[in-house]
Amino acid sequence: MMPSVGVARRALLAEDAEPGVFALGAAVAGYAQPDQRQDDDDDDDRQQQRDRDHDQRRQADDEGQRPTAAALAAAGAVDEVADDDAGQRGSDEAEHAAEDPFQQEAGDEADYGGEDRHSPAGGPVGAGGAGEHADGHPDSELLENVHAPNLTNRDGRALIRHTWEMAEVPEPTHRRRSHAGTRDLERYAGLFAERTTVMRSSAMRDLMAITARPEVISLAGGLPDTSTFPPQSFAAQMTRIAQESAAKALQYGPTEGFEETKDCILEVMGAEGMLPDPDDIIVTTGGQQAIDLVCKTLIDPGDVVICEAPTYPGAIPTLCSYQADVVQVECDEDGMQVELLEQLLAELRGEGRRPKFIYSVPSFQNPAGVTMSLPRRQRLVELARSQEILVVEDNPYGLLRYGGEPMPPLYQLDGGDFVIYLGTFSKILSPGIRLGWAVAPPPVMEKIVLGKQAADLCTSTLTQYFVREYFAERRWQRYVDDLVEIYRGRRDTMVEALRTYFPAEATWTEPEGGLFIWATLPDYINTSDLLAKALRADVAFVPGQAAYVDGRGSHSMRLNFSGVNDEEIREGVRRIGKVIAEQVELYGTLTGEQRVAEPATEPQPNVVPFRKAEEA
């Protein structure tokens, strides 16, 4: 009996201080040392102390690593599609984090042996820690204890500062080298799942890696503008959390998310006329995880999933990693052409294939900027119901409307029987808090919750607390209004710039909301190749091919207007217009038809038509 109790206790202790990953590490360590598990109670106590100490060191290590991972990611991450290199590094860091507990096991055991000899009375940790709490900073306990054995003369504050200084010193080379062994991909190649072969990057994705250069005006991003969020308000909310709810905000939370977070979600959905049952909601780590969880729940390899053409570029890797057979249905200025969808569904039925779901961004679509018309929405919902197919409505931008009349979400039209709804705080508050959600019928939700549990147990409690504080101030709608004002201006600037600088043969959508404009060029211009030329002029966009699974979209580009200021928008569009004009002129020279690459003199002709010719 004794051994298993020992293991369980240690695992439990580990979990008290740190995430589940480490509990596993401690348990493994226990099994690896059968003789220790037979120890008497005293030894067991000491072991607990070691484990606690161990956990805290581990935590300190994490602190040290995090800025590096973040910096590396930030250095390259322009967009959800953009930077492969950052992605690579990000995952490398993740790899290290995952392997760390095991790697450190051996080294730390040796350390403990040494400590034990010098501190028979339970070690200096407890003694030093207790004495230093007089400064009234109970929250510093963890960090303090990490260094206490070495730094008994310092007070808690100094230690905290010291820890942060450590964290901020960039030592990427050194840090990476200490983990060199874990990066050795070829040693693991034989172990990789088959799905990783479809997770490889393309040359175009590599090209996007260099859009992160500081001198490049990037219209390739998809970033909301977080610069107007008042820092004082952020500080006050976080302080309030620290003062009033520190223990809870630092603790695990329910897998489904806090009820209070769901209340905030109900407010946001209510603003668009939706009234879901809170039990149908799960809080996720960003909207992206919601997509992932839906895929995880519904897709077997080879299953058909229907998307719009073009579709959200960030959904493609997710769908591919679950080995879905993605079929895309053309959009026009009124969104997905539901008539074509009907034909497709009939064809698939003929082949005996039933699509698992239809993924749509009906409002201010990413990347096309178009919005599905009401008749199409109604028809889509009818189709879903009559054929019992799920529709996954991804609605990150619904509240960012700059003109026109609000459109009922599919979820509202359907009542939530065949529509799974995905939402996010990313575009109305902050993408950095990584808070999104999914709403699904109970049987589906049950599976999604299991998937979420397996993925990450729960969404960050800290940021859920932040959202709750933020919504308590009852100003969230005003902030959205502010964003709408800013983005409306930027959209207008971009449309104006397109009229001024793009050649007459180009067309583009004029979105009533959202973050993107989709521009289509003459069919002899390939936008992936054009990007190479544009990058020499220090400007970037997302080539249209990123929004298709089959290489289409090569004459189009996605332009973002939310993450750049008016001046950058004008200059960026001017530079792109210039490289396009050069290509148009060159083509004229090559074909003998002299084309004059001048911008349209008529103010209106290029707006909206979502070139159907492109699909020929």
Partner 1 sequence: MKVAVLKGGRSLERGVSLRSGARAEDALDRLGHEVLAIDVGSDLVKRLVAERPDVAFVAMHGVGGEDGTVQELLEILAIPFTGPSAAACARCMDKVQAKDAIEEAGLPTPHWFAFNQTAFREFGAADALGRLEETLGFPLVVKPSRGGSSLGVKFARLPGEVPQALVSAFSYDDRVLLERFVDGRELAVSILGDEPLPVVEAILLGGDRYDFEARYEIGRTRFACPAELSAEEERAVTEAALATYRALGCTGFARIDLILGEEGPWLLEANAIPGLTDTSLLPQAAEAAGLSFEELVERILDLALKPATA
Residue 287 identity (one-letter amino acid): G
413 vs 549, which CB is nearer to partner 1? 549
209 vs 283, which CB is nearer to partner 1? 209
d(CA 373, CA 376): 5
Q: Where are the alpha helices (DSSP H) in 284-406?
A: 286-298, 315-321, 338-350, 374-387
Task: At 293, list the tokens.
Answer: 């969880």
In the set 1, 203, 247, 616, which binds partner 1 (CB under 8 A)? 203
183 vs 353, which CB is nearer to partner 1? 183
Contact call for residues 405 and 377 (beta carbons, < 8 A):
no
Task: For the CB of residue 528, give the shortest distance to partner 1 in the complex, in Å.
Answer: 7
Cβ-based neighbour number of residue 149 at 10 Å: 16
206 binds partner 1 (CB under 8 A): yes
539-558 positions binding partner 1, by CB under 8 A: 551
- Ramachandran bin of 182, using left for φ above 0, alpha for ψ from -120 to 50, beta for the remaining angles: alpha
Contact call for residues 77 and 220 (beta carbons, < 8 A):
no
Chain centroid, CA 510 distance in Å: 26
Instruction: Considering only CA atoms, give the Rg of the chain.
Output: 27
Residue 265 identity (one-letter amino acid): I
Stretch that binds partner 1, among 9-17, 81-89, 118-126, 337-345 (CB under 8 A): 81-89
Task: For the CB of residue 97, give the shortest distance to partner 1 in the complex, in Å.
Answer: 17
Cβ-based neighbour number of residue 33 at 10 Å: 14
d(CA 331, CA 309): 6
Task: For the CB of residue 289, give the shortest distance to partner 1 in the complex, in Å.
Answer: 23
84 binds partner 1 (CB under 8 A): yes
Stretch that binds partner 1, among 202-210, 238-246, 385-393, 435-443 (CB under 8 A): 202-210
Binding mask 490-529 for partner 1 (x = CB under 8 A): ---------------------------------xxxx-xx
Task: For the CB of residue 538, give the shortest distance to partner 1 in the complex, in Å.
Answer: 10
Task: For the CB of residue 5, give the shortest distance to partner 1 in the complex, in Å.
Answer: 42
In the set 189, 191, 247, 616, which binds partner 1 (CB under 8 A)? 189
Contacts of 529 (CB under 8 A, 6+ apart): none
85 binds partner 1 (CB under 8 A): yes
In the set 162, 176, 353, 447, which binds partner 1 (CB under 8 A)? 176
**Number of residues counted as binding partner 1 (CB under 8 A):** 48
Binding mask 311-330 for partner 1 (x = CB under 8 A): ---------x----------
322 vs 470, which CB is nearer to partner 1? 322
Binding mask 216-255 for partner 1 (x = CB under 8 A): ----------------------------------------
532 binds partner 1 (CB under 8 A): yes
d(CA 406, CA 469): 28
Stretch that binds partner 1, among 171-179, 347-355, 398-406, 498-506 (CB under 8 A): 171-179
For 362-375, letters b (16+ CB in 10 Å) and e give: bbbbbbbbbbbbee
Contacts of 467 (CB under 8 A, 6+ apart): 261, 264, 425, 429, 433, 435
84 vs 332, which CB is nearer to partner 1? 84
Task: At 503, list the tokens.
Answer: 């050649």
In the set 150, 197, 232, 604, which binds partner 1 (CB under 8 A)? 197
In the set 35, 114, 121, 173, which binds partner 1 (CB under 8 A)? 173
91 binds partner 1 (CB under 8 A): no
Task: For the CB of residue 298, give the shortest distance to partner 1 in the complex, in Å.
Answer: 22
Cβ-based neighbour number of residue 353 at 10 Å: 15
Task: At 344, list the tokens.
Answer: 């497709």
Task: For the CB of residue 149, give the shortest distance to partner 1 in the complex, in Å.
Answer: 30
The 3-state DSSP class for residue 437 equals strand
2 vs 185, which CB is nearer to partner 1? 185
> Is 607 exposed, middle or buried, given 0-12, 13-18 or 19+ CB atoms closer than 10 A?
middle
Task: For the CB of residue 258, give the shortest distance to partner 1 in the complex, in Å.
Answer: 39
Stretch that binds partner 1, among 9-17, 169-177, 256-264, 330-338 (CB under 8 A): 169-177
Cβ-based neighbour number of residue 38 at 10 Å: 11
Contact call for residues 170 and 71 (beta carbons, < 8 A):
yes
Stretch that binds partner 1, among 110-118, 270-278, 556-564, 581-589 (CB under 8 A): 581-589
567 vs 615, which CB is nearer to partner 1? 615
Which DSSP helix (H) or strand (E) runs through 108? helix 84-118
In the set 38, 202, 228, 453, which binds partner 1 (CB under 8 A)? 202
587 binds partner 1 (CB under 8 A): yes
In the set 209, 326, 506, 569, which binds partner 1 (CB under 8 A)? 209
9 vs 176, which CB is nearer to partner 1? 176
Sign of the CA dihedral running 562, 568, 572, 573: positive
Strand positions, DSSP E, 122-234: 217-218
Task: At 224, list the tokens.
Answer: 């909301």
Angle of helix 2-17 relative to helix 41-76, nearest 10 degrees, comes to 40
586 binds partner 1 (CB under 8 A): yes
350 binds partner 1 (CB under 8 A): no
Task: For the CB of residue 181, give the shortest distance to partner 1 in the complex, in Å.
Answer: 8
Task: At 527, list the tokens.
Answer: 């936008």
> Is 217 exposed, middle or buried, given 0-12, 13-18 or 19+ CB atoms closer than 10 A?
buried
171 binds partner 1 (CB under 8 A): no
Contact call for residues 115 and 126 (beta carbons, < 8 A):
no
Query: Which residues are at the interface with partner 1 (CB under 8 A)?
Result: 83-85, 88-89, 173, 176-177, 180-181, 183-186, 189, 197-198, 200-210, 213, 320, 523-526, 528-530, 532-533, 535, 551, 583, 586-587, 589-592
